[in-house]
Amino acid sequence: MLDTLQQAEATAAAAAPSRAAARATLQPVPPAAVLRPWVGAQAINVTRHAAALRPFRQDEFGTGAAAPSEGHLQAVNALLASLRTELIKLSRGVSASARDATKEATSRHLQQLVGRKSRAHDWVRAIERVWDFYFELFGQRQSQFASWLLACDRIALDCYQVAYLGVGTAKSIPAPPPFSYVRTGFSPATFRRGIPLRRLGQQLNPFPLVQLPYHRMVNPWTLGAVLHEVSHNLQSDLGLAHAVPRSIAARLLKAGHSRSVASTWTRWNRELFADLSGLLLGGPAVVGSLMDVIGRDAQSTLTYSPSGVHPTPYLRMLLSVELLRRMWFREEAERYRRAWTAIYPNPSAGNIPRPLLQSFPEASSLVVDTVCFKPYPALGGKSLWQVMRFEPKEQQMIEEGARRLAAGTDPGIIPARFLIGSARVALDRRLARPGVIMKNFYTELARR
């Protein structure tokens, strides 16, 4: 054992550097040997960052029908270009400071360099956030969701087309159209054109985005959500964002309802507009889709939120029932009303304010009339009902489409938005298995 230790010590001593060599190794390195390459790297890094945040290419996300349109890419690239302008200016400042620091590595020059570098880095992160957001959205068009998202895009486009063809006056054409994407773990949502988005660092959103959860996508008869979310965008793009809440408040106050009741209905205006507009776009099946969403435990459905933007779920369903009655679907409206009140027979069990509950029958009728049957200047003197008219003959088209969809035959020229109702009818009447209905639904919309 002793011999072994001695041999190890001898080997280590032989491998150790001499003291002179060690002193030579520990000599201080001149600062310029570290600073010169580091200073040069800072300018290179920022310049390459700016170049890497490039515009998206036309063929980058596929070339099929599901790929982002040229209009969507142009809108996002214009947003990125506006942000990169400042970054390029900052990167030039970093390069200039790097040249100064290379010539004369004073603390003043070096601190100017790192200061400009920090500002440029902040811009890089801000632009990366925007770039990454759209990279993820556009990238979904190369995934298994591509044909599903294309189907939702075509439904959204159909909604816009019927609305803009139905108005009584020429209006500027909004572009690009809505763009759909999947986000698991979240409810359906939309981000309107021209509003600042937190996920974009408060930059303005260049086109409507429709967020859809996976569980809705696999059950296309619940995609009344697309009509609802698109209607939010229509309220803004058609110029009704201010007119509708003002009209609701004025109508209720004129009828003698309290300021509290009128204020509540006015606060709900965007969500109730989306419900009612979605019903006009898609017909009675949209009420069933709504019932899927808000038909939860009694506590949730009967809970009133003093600051909520959605109507209390119990009242929200009955509001759609009122519009369904006004659309000459009285039997369907009564069936939905009876089913809903059978589930929730005692609305007083929740915390809905008594004045709101007691005034609901008259107030809901006035609200439906105001939103759907009152003419608006923004619609060329037409009412929403006249712009997006849905009658029993449209429902017959949906029911025929349901039979064809279930059989896997061509549903013909039926509008894209009506296929949601067709899927619902096919499911409710058990015309085919759910998986078959889903497959045929997306196949039909993707081939258009």
**DSSP letter assigned to residue 433:** -
Lowest mean pLDDT among 122-126, 163-167, 242-246, 278-282: 122-126
Residue range 202-256, pLDDT digits in tens: 889 999 999 999 999 999 999 999 999 999 999 999 999 999 999 999 999 999 9
What is the spatial distance between Cα 267 and Cα 349, in angstroms, rounded to a whole number? 23
What is the spatial distance between Cα 115 and Cα 190, in angstroms, rounded to a whole number? 39
Q: 213: buried, middle or exposed (CB in 10 Å: 19+, 13-18, 0-12)? A: middle
Domain co-membership, 320 together with 367:
yes
Domain co-membership, 329 together with 207:
yes
CA angle 222, 230, 379 (to 5 degrees): 130
Domain co-membership, 99 together with 151:
no
What strand order describes the sheet that includes 179-182? 179-182, 209-212, 189-191
Q: 417: which 2 tokens?
A: 């938005």
Domain co-membership, 111 together with 201:
no
DSSP H or E stretch at residue 373: helix 354-373
Higher pLDDT, 59 or 395: 395
pLDDT at 43 over 90: no
Domain co-membership, 282 together with 343:
yes
pLDDT at 4 over 90: no
Phi and psi dihedrals of 393, rounded to 5? Answer: -65, -35
pLDDT at 174: 94
Would you mind telling me the total number of residues written for the chain in this entry? Answer: 448
Q: What is the mean pLDDT of residues 404-424?
A: 96
Domain boundary among 392, 413, 431: 392
Domain co-membership, 98 together with 174:
no
Burial 183-212 (b: 16+ CB within 10 A, else e): eeeeebebbbbeeeeeebeebebbbbbbbb
Could you tell me if residue 18 is inside a domain? no
Q: What is the mean pLDDT of residues 275-291?
A: 96
User: Which residue in 252, 248, 243 sits closest to 267, CA to CA?
Assistant: 248
Give the pairing type, strands 179-182 and 209-212: parallel
Q: How crowded is the C-beta side of 13, counted as CA atoms within 13 Å?
A: 6
How many domains does the structure of the chain reveal? Answer: 3
Domain co-membership, 296 together with 415:
no
Domain co-membership, 73 together with 101:
yes
Domain co-membership, 214 together with 110:
no
Residue range of the domain that includes 271: 146-392
Could you tell me if residue 21 is inside a domain? no
Band (pLDDT 50/70/90 cuts) for residue 424 is very high
Domain co-membership, 121 together with 159:
no
Phi and psi dihedrals of 189, rounded to 5? Answer: -160, 170
Q: Provide, rounded to the nearest whole percent, the portion of the chain with pLDDT above 70.
A: 93
Domain co-membership, 315 together with 256:
yes
Domain boundary among 357, 372, 392: 392
Domain boundary among 88, 113, 141: 141
Could you tell me if residue 13 is inside a domain? no
Domain co-membership, 151 together with 187:
yes
Q: Three-class SS of residue 257?
A: coil
Could you tell me if residue 9 is inside a domain? no
